[in-house]
């Protein structure tokens, strides 16, 4: 809620907020540096990077921005655009003409992933948009073709549930933080929230008799 240009918290026990920003701190793992991940939705966005302001550009309504020690990537393109052109050389194509860009219809969310000092600018993947029809995935071919291959016994498609456990877990913890209006500290080994014992009740659902989930 904004009153006289002053932001104030509006308590709502019935639904999640119409807009929010959540800050996730992901620890170093598997030889990679720690990452700060910022999620924005409901129209909220981070401040435009200097590289965009220098080109008189604005952030879109949805997107994915990586902030690394050696540069920035917005929606799969290095910014500023002049650096993208220099990096690709003869393979360069302008925005919206093949390489780079998200394609398709954007979702509500915008994300920013920032690598820790000494990192390579590698962030975390997050939802917020979906690929356009025929957009190439990292596996070669189209998303639909890869999905069909997986159904026929080929390698798992990019949307494999097992590949999305970590990001799903991360954002579910963000929802718990919104619901409790408190910071959440998570122990991934014990699979418990350590700084607020009462918040652990939101990790599981009590099902009615006859509707229980069976492994």
Side-chain-side CA neighbours of residue 157 (13 Å): 16
Residue-by-residue pLDDT tens, the chain, 215 positions: 444 444 556 666 677 788 889 999 999 989 999 999 999 988 888 989 999 988 888 898 889 999 999 999 999 999 999 999 999 999 999 887 654 444 433 334 556 666 554 443 334 333 333 333 334 444 455 788 888 999 999 998 877 788 888 889 999 999 999 888 899 999 999 999 999 999 999 998 888 999 988 86
Residue-level pLDDT at 115? 56
Q: What is the pTM of this model?
A: 0.69
List phi, psi (to 5°) of 110.
-135, 140
Q: Distance between CA 112 and CA 187 in Å, rounded?
A: 23
Spell out the domain ranges in the chain. 17-128, 140-204
Nearest to 170 by CA among 104, 108, 102, 113: 113
List phi, psi (to 5°) of 164.
-110, 10
């Amino acid at each position: 809620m904004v009153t006289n240009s002053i932001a104030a918290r509006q308590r709502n026990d019935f639904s999640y907020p119409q807009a929010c920003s959540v800050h996730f701190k992901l620890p170093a793992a598997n030889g990679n540096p720690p990452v700060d991940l910022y999620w924005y939705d409901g129209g909220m966005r981070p401040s435009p990077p200097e590289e965009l302001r220098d080109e008189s550009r604005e952030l879109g309504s949805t997107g994915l921005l990586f902030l690394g020690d050696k540069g920035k990537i917005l929606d799969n393109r290095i910014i500023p655009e002049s650096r993208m052109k220099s990096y690709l050389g003869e393979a360069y194509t302008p925005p919206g003409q093949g390489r780079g860009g998200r394609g398709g219809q954007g979702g509500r969310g915008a994300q920013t992933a920032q690598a820790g000092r000494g990192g390579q600018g590698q962030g975390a993947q997050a939802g917020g948009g979906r690929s356009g029809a025929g957009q190439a995935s990292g596996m070669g071919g189209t998303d639909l073709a890869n999905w069909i291959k997986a159904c026929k016994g080929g390698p798992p498609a990019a949307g494999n549930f097992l590949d999305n456990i970590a990001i799903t877990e991360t954002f579910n913890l963000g929802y718990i933080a919104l619901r409790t209006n408190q910071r959440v500290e998570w122990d991934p080994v014990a699979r418990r929230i350590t700084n607020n014992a009462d918040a652990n009740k939101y990790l599981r659902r009590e099902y009615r008799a006859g509707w229980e989930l069976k492994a």
